[in-house]
Structure 1
Amino acid sequence: MGADATTSVAFLAANTASAMVAYFPYEIAWDYFGPPPEATTTKTIATKTAGYQVVTGLRNLALSYAFSGTIWSSMAFVVAVIVVDAGIYIANEYIWDWISPRAPSTALPKPAKS
């Protein structure tokens, strides 16, 4: 494997690992500190997406700079990734919101004893 291929594999591995390290704690923190799923609105999805884009943007900037050594190409990479990633993230949020079961809004009656 040549130097470019080796660098590509290293970037892919570092990007995947750092994405998991950033994504899962962010989602757990949002679930703990954010509003309940029943309170999801366009505003909460926008807030959640913007917060995650800050986290992942900084992650991508550090990762890209570590591999490229140039701040301008790293910043261009981050802008492109944020545009694409935000769209995917928002679509994912809406899909999960659509397919996720909701907590009942009122208490269900207890089954009658037979």
Structure 2
Amino acid sequence: MKGEVVLMATVLAFCLAPIAEAVFGRAVYYNPPYTPSACYGGRNYGTHVAGVKGELWGRGSACGRRYRVRCLGPTFSFPNACTGRSVVVTVVDFCREPCNGNLNLSLDAFAAIANPKAGNIRIDYSPA
């Protein structure tokens, strides 16, 4: 009986681990060009990039971090805001106040998960 309980608890923890890592927040977007950036200056780091707010920035320690981002719905009333896909972004910049989202996604990354006309969306994100 004890062995079954331990096995069940282990399986449950394994199944819920990805859910526990997800953080909920908001995302906005910015238009190209995506350089220069606070992390890499004028170096091009691709088009699926993001800037992060102060609490995620960690005095620059966020540079190069990758997040898988998924749209959960619009922040404001906007029908069919989400595409149903997720996107992996690399942190390349700092989003200075007033930053209206936890993640400031490149337009290309935002458009992969949501209609840009929504402007501001609810998201979950986790390390990629």
Higher relative contact order (CA 8 A, sep 6+): 2
Please give the TM-score of this superposition, normalised by the length of structure 2: 0.27
Q: TM-score, normalised by structure 1?
A: 0.29
Work out which of the two has the higher radius of gyration on C-alpha atoms and give 1 or 2.
1
Structure with bigger strand share is 2
